[in-house]
Amino acid sequence: MNPLRFKLSLPKRPTPGSTLDVKFQASFKKGDFALRLEDEGLSNTTVKSAPVDVDVVASYLSEIRYGVVPQLYTAKQGKTGKTK
């Protein structure tokens, strides 16, 4: 099983020439990702609905987009963590 998974959802009928809002989901399982996620405020501690800002970089063809996505982080120390 691959520990990294990424899902991208596009609108069914985008309007030609308009900007495109895309939903995405990333999953990190059965791996050690703590050091890479800690600077986003996603630490190995028990928290519920803690506000965090997650930096996101996406590239497609020759375009690179960057954004900060506000999330709520819930985790149990040493077990699980997720944002919404």
| pLDDT single digits (tens) 8-49 | 777 777 677 777 777 778 888 777 778 888 888 898 899 999
> Alpha-carbon distance 47 to 30, whole Å?
20
**How many angstroms from the chain centroid is the CA of residue 23?**
10
Q: What DSSP state is assigned to residue 15? A: P
Q: Across residues 50-67, what is the average pLDDT? A: 87
Which residues, other chains included, contact 2 with Cβ-Cβ below 8 Å and sequence gap of 6+?
none
Place 72 in a pLDDT band, splitting at 50, 70 and 90.
very high
Q: Considering its fold, how many domains does the chain have in total?
A: 1
> Alpha-carbon distance 34 to 51, whole Å?
18
For residue 38, the model assigns a pLDDT of: 86
Q: What is the extent of the structural domain holding 18?
A: 4-83
